[in-house]
Amino acid sequence: MQRKIDSAQLDQAYFAKNGDTHLVEVARFWESFFARALEDFEALGGDILKGFQHFDETGQINIITCAATHGYFPLLGFDSCIAAQVKTGVATHKKHFGRHPRGIWAPECGYRPSGTWSYPVQAAGSSMLGPNSSFHRQGVEQFLASNGIDFFFVDTHLVETSAKFTPYDFLFGGVPIALEEETDAPHPSLYRPYLVDGPGRADGVNVSIFPRDPKTGTQVWSGDIGYPGDPVYLDFHKKRWPGGHRYWQVTNSKIDMALKTPYYPQHALDRTRGHAEHFAYICRDTLLNRSTNGTPPILTSPFDAELFGHWWFEGVEWLKNVALQFAREDSPVKLISCADYLDLHQPSGYLALPEGSWGKNGTNEVWLNPDTSWTWKHIYPAEEAVRQMAAKGTWKKSTEATRLAKQICRELLLLESSDWQFLITTGSARDYAEKRFNTHLDQFRVLIDAWRRHDAGQPLSAETMHSLSEIEQRDSVFADIDPSLWA
């Protein structure tokens, strides 16, 4: 941040020398912006999480957790892999925030119900892990319930196209056959939570879903009508070098970079107030007369956090102004966390959900397609190898073996990140994603081969321990990771 302050000061001198008084003022804006950010950072002692923890503990926000590395649940193979993603995510949340999370963000809003499944690809180097091998997998809600999670979020279409799967007939191994029937409400409301229906219901699995509202999502995300594309907002891509500060507004998303016009910070901040008023109006209009049996409706509008302040620089100011709109005494709509809503109101019955996501066409295709299938051919054998290692338990016999097993699990979690397939499919950073995936795959192979030699009776060599130390330094996430989660 100090470098940003210094570069803004240099920009001021440059623009002043060239007689551009307006850009001098914009450079001063950046100097002030980063000076305040640095002051806030130092006031927190460099611990940004502490600031969020304060607001969580005082009930002003409700921080939820996520899967450890954002692994895409519908395509992960063994149940133990989802269990490890969830348990590690919950443990990390408790470590940093000092309390158990009530909710979770299922990566990519990905959901899979309980049922029989087979691998969508033939695993590399394995004749056993492929489309011809079928087995039973638990539904996402069962993993969440076993970790004390009360709610998660699903995309619109999972609720609108849901079918009620009940009663259950059971085959060998307790695998249910779902008898598809119409739901109690053929068009379930998107503005109330539901309990997920499934075989776990009989065992007391009560996990709620909050459906995503499509209209408010479109208003913020859309490249055509979304707020971030307004001409007066800061352009994300055009930067001045050196320093990297941005001095131009969106102007028009379809014009050449050279034609972008200068940014006016105050104009942009003023526009956030108008957009906040419009957003509040949409919410009021959407929720009008949607009360059911006297229970107030709830509109859930989730977004990627990086949209606010990163892609859309003024997004944080917009969020503040939206909160101020709903805080007005005359506002019929009020802000409430999902946890607080569930404390006040019961979910509106049970709803069975199909498999899906908030990705393209609501399916798995962003993460599984001809460009990404090769990643899964390597992920599935890695999952099987870790499961076998964890089940044997011999990794507990020495400090060195435990270190090795823990790092193997870390590399698997990193391999499972849904970001790699997303970046490959969208093409936004394909080379980077492929390089990162292959790096973790190579490191996993080095470590799992060392483990297999050690498990066969060979001592861990100095070379192996040196390689392990180097990999630990690069990938030091989840210090308290527990390999037994994969057993």
In this predicted model, what pLDDT tens digit does every residue of 356-385 receive, in sequence order?
999 988 999 999 999 999 999 999 999 999
How high is the pLDDT of residue 133?
80
- Tally of CB atoms within 10 A around 311: 11
141-150, 154-163, 166-175: which has the minimum mean pLDDT?
166-175
Question: What one-letter code names the amino acid at 267?
Answer: H
How high is the pLDDT of residue 176?
33
Q: Does residue 200 sit in the same domain as residue 83?
A: yes
DSSP letters, 18-83, are TT-HHHHHHHHHHHHHHHHHHHHHHHTTT-HHHHHHHHHHTTS----EE-TT-B-GGG--SHHHHH
The owner of tokens 């609501």 is: 362
Domain count of the fold of the chain: 3
Q: Strands, DSSP E only, in 403-454?
A: none
Q: Does residue 237 sit in the same domain as residue 145?
A: no
C-alpha–C-alpha distance, residues 153 and 301, integer Å: 10
Q: Does residue 209 sit in the same domain as residue 251?
A: no
Q: Does residue 446 sit in the same domain as residue 396?
A: yes
Structure tokens given for 318: 């917009």
Are 44 and 51 spatial neighbours (Cβ–Cβ below 8 Å)?
A: yes
- At 170, the pLDDT band (50, 70, 90 cuts) reads very low
- The DSSP H or E segment spanning 450 is helix 430-455
8-12, 188-192, 402-406: which has the minimum mean pLDDT?
188-192
**Is 459 part of a structural domain of the chain?**
yes
Handedness of CA 67, 71, 74, 78 (dihedral sign): negative
| 3-state percent breakdown (helix, strand, coil) of the chain, nearest 5 | 50, 10, 40
96-100, 130-134, 391-395: which has the minimum mean pLDDT?
130-134
- At 162, the pLDDT band (50, 70, 90 cuts) reads low
**Is 28 part of a structural domain of the chain?**
no
**Is 263 part of a structural domain of the chain?**
yes
pTM of the predicted model, to two decimals?
Answer: 0.90
In the predicted structure, residue 466 carries a pLDDT above the cut 70 = yes
12-16, 137-141, 178-182, 277-281: which has the minimum mean pLDDT?
178-182
Are 317 and 269 spatial neighbours (Cβ–Cβ below 8 Å)?
A: yes
How high is the pLDDT of residue 125?
75
Cα Rg, the chain, nearest whole Å: 25
User: What separation in angstroms does the CA of 137 have from each of 113, 118, 446?
Assistant: 8, 10, 30
Residues 6 or more apart in contact with residue 77 via CB below 8 angstroms? 119, 129, 379, 380, 383, 384
User: What separation in angstroms does the CA of 10 have from each of 16, 17, 27, 262, 263?
Assistant: 10, 11, 9, 18, 18
- At 247, the pLDDT band (50, 70, 90 cuts) reads very high
Residues 6 or more apart in contact with residue 160 via CB below 8 angstroms? 187, 188, 190
Q: Does residue 195 sit in the same domain as residue 224?
A: no
How high is the pLDDT of residue 222?
78
**Is 161 part of a structural domain of the chain?**
yes
Are 178 and 352 spatial neighbours (Cβ–Cβ below 8 Å)?
A: yes
Percent of the chain with pLDDT over 90: 84
Q: Does residue 172 sit in the same domain as residue 271?
A: no
**Is 480 part of a structural domain of the chain?**
yes
Q: Tell which of 362, 388, 413 closes a domain.
A: 362
User: What separation in angstroms does the CA of 482 have from each of 92, 393, 406?
Assistant: 12, 12, 7
C-alpha–C-alpha distance, residues 211 and 214, integer Å: 9
Q: Does residue 192 sit in the same domain as residue 134?
A: yes
| The Cα angle at residue 190 between residues 188 and 191, in degrees rounded to 5 | 115
Structure tokens given for 275: 């957009």
In the predicted structure, residue 328 carries a pLDDT above the cut 70 = yes
Q: Does residue 245 sit in the same domain as residue 287?
A: yes
Closest CA to 408 of 383, 380, 429: 383
**Is 18 part of a structural domain of the chain?**
no
**Is 442 part of a structural domain of the chain?**
yes
How high is the pLDDT of residue 286?
93
Closest CA to 447 of 415, 417, 485: 415
Residues 6 or more apart in contact with residue 115 via CB below 8 angstroms? 136, 137, 139, 175, 176, 178
Q: Which of 42, 181, 203, 304 is catalytic?
A: 304
Closest CA to 344 of 208, 205, 240, 447: 208
Q: Beta strand pairing status for 104-105 and 65-66?
A: parallel
C-alpha–C-alpha distance, residues 407 and 465, integer Å: 12
Are 124 and 378 spatial neighbours (Cβ–Cβ below 8 Å)?
A: yes
Q: Does residue 357 sit in the same domain as residue 343?
A: no
Mean pLDDT value across residues 407-417: 99
**Is 30 part of a structural domain of the chain?**
no
Q: What's the CATH code of the domain at 170? A: 3.20.110.10
Q: Which of 11, 31, 56, 108 is catalytic?
A: 108
The phi and psi torsions of 151 (rounded to 5 degrees) equal -155, 160
User: What average pLDDT does the chain have?
Assistant: 92
Full domain range(s) for residue 135: 51-214+351-362
Q: Tell which of 334, 362, 390 closes a domain.
A: 362
Q: Strands, DSSP E only, in 110-263?
A: 115-118, 134-137, 151-154, 164-170, 176-181, 194-196, 208-211
- Tally of CB atoms within 10 A around 106: 28
Q: Does residue 336 sit in the same domain as residue 466?
A: no
In the predicted structure, residue 274 carries a pLDDT above the cut 80 = yes
Q: Tell which of 331, 362, 393 closes a domain.
A: 362
Are 31 and 260 spatial neighbours (Cβ–Cβ below 8 Å)?
A: no
Q: Does residue 87 sit in the same domain as residue 207?
A: yes
Among this protein's residues, is 304 annotated catalytic?
yes
Among this protein's residues, is 455 annotated catalytic?
no
Are 141 and 351 spatial neighbours (Cβ–Cβ below 8 Å)?
A: no
How high is the pLDDT of residue 292?
66
Q: Does residue 238 sit in the same domain as residue 191?
A: no
Q: What's the CATH code of the domain at 424? A: 1.20.1430.10
